[in-house]
């Protein structure tokens, strides 16, 4: 009798725990809500980096391979010991340190970036554009960790090297499906610290190898995809990135919520004029890829901020080339010292 009663009580406790646990999960509120007002970024209704040289600017780091995997046959020998979940956890463990140094956002890619070798099958999509659950689980962990640290995640959907393999998107409709499923996933998860980048460097010649890549590389194709994302989720902030010359086509400037540029191939003394032209449109200007390191990186960061552009650091060798390292400020002490300076109230950026 007592045993049956205990079993009933145990069963009842499990049911109650499951109900209340689900209720807690459903009522779990995000800690970081990202919005735009004019040409400035806001967290939870407050301008980011207030009272600093970087007030309203999105200071960011490219960490596209923090959710990396390779399901192909061309991975180097060392990849045999690689664990995608451990790689993601290693990055997550350093998020608080990156944020404490002045980082506001991270670019995370659903198709990664170059890992230092060709042929990696690294994509969150099946060939028909459906989402791969295990890949998205790693992305979700990053988004939630960033939310707790009051950081934004820029999800980049399409990367030029992901073609000619069994999981490559099979054409225009599958590309649209991939975007649609990604936007709906963001909406269903109720993420409020996420912004969206349709394509990494949409004019990159690598997209010529995609099925219907010419459409994807066109301004008309990018506008179509931005508009699709906005129709599905009007509150989601959406853009796409240009090449390393810091320029964007007028149709994209008009359509995008924020202006996403790259400075890899741009001399620092050209930043002021390029940023100045884009600032005329009254939208936030964000560089989310610049591969300059050490003193050159610190100077590029400073010049971007001086001209009203959020700067994005890419440490290709350390953070993106396999095997990946995430060492916080030790990734590049000079650059992260400057990140800290420009996000500190009272810092005189002119000196």
pLDDT at 261: 98
Structure-token pair, residue 190: 């109720």
The runs of H, that is alpha helices, within 28-168 are: 84-100, 133-148
pTM of the entire predicted model: 0.92
Q: How many CB atoms within 10 Å of residue 321?
A: 16
Q: Report pLDDT digits (tens) over 72-113.
A: 988 889 898 999 999 999 999 999 999 999 999 999 999 999
How far is Cα 145 from Cα 106, in angstroms, rounded to an integer? 11
Q: Report pLDDT digits (tens) over 219-269.
A: 999 999 999 999 999 999 999 999 999 999 999 999 999 999 999 999 999
The CATH architecture annotation of domain 31-342 reads: Alpha-Beta Barrel (3.20)
Give the mean pLDDT of the chain.
93
**Cβ–Cβ < 8 Å for 63, 46:** no
How far is Cα 104 from Cα 129, in angstroms, rounded to an integer? 30
Residues 6+ apart with CB under 8 A from 151: 32, 95, 98, 99, 103, 104, 105, 106, 193
Residues 6+ apart with CB under 8 A from 222: 198, 199, 202, 216, 240, 252
Q: Which of 288, 259, 260 is nearest to 107 (CA)?
A: 288
Q: What is the mean pLDDT of each run of 10 residues along the chain (351 residues)?
A: 41 39 53 97 98 98 98 90 97 98 98 96 98 98 98 98 97 98 98 98 97 97 98 98 96 98 98 98 98 98 98 98 97 98 96 76
């Amino acid at each position: 009798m007592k045993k049956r009663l205990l079993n009933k009580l145990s069963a009842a406790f499990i049911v109650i725990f499951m109900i209340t646990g689900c209720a807690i999960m459903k009522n779990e509120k995000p800690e970081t809500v990202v919005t735009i007002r004019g040409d400035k970024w806001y967290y939870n209704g407050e301008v980011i980096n207030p009272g600093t040289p970087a007030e309203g600017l999105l200071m960011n780091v490219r960490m596209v391979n923090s959710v990396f995997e390779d399901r192909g046959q061309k991975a180097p020998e060392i990849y045999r010991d690689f664990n995608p979940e451990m790689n993601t956890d290693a990055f997550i463990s350093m998020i608080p340190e990156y944020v404490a140094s002045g980082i506001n956002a991270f670019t995370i890619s659903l198709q990664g970036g170059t890992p230092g070798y060709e042929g990696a099958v690294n994509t969150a999509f099946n060939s028909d554009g459906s989402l791969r659950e295990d890949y998205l689980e790693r992305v979700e962990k990053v988004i939630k960790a960033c939310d707790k640290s009051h950081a934004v995640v820029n999800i980049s959907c399409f990367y030029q090297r992901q073609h000619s393999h069994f999981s490559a998107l099979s054409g225009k409709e599958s590309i649209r499906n991939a975007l649609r499923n990604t936007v709906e996933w963001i909406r269903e998860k109720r993420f409020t610290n996420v912004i969206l980048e349709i394509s990494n460097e949409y004019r990159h010649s690598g997209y010529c190898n995609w099925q219907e890549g010419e459409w994807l590389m066109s301004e008309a194709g990018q506008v179509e995809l931005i508009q699709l994302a906005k129709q599905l989720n009007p509150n989601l902030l959406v853009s796409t990135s240009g090449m390393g010359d810091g320029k964007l086509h007028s149709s994209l400037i008009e359509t995008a919520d924020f202006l996403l540029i790259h400075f890899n191939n741009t001399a620092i003394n050209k930043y002021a004029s390029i940023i100045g032209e884009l600032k005329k449109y009254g939208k936030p200007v964000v560089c989310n890829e610049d591969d300059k390191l050490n003193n050159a990186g610190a100077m590029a960061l400073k010049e971007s901020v001086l001209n009203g552009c959020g700067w994005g650091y890419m440490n290709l060798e350390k953070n993106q080339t396999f095997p990946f390292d995430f060492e916080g400020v030790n990734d590049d002490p000079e650059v992260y010292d400057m990140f800290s300076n420009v996000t500190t109230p009272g810092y005189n950026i002119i000196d």
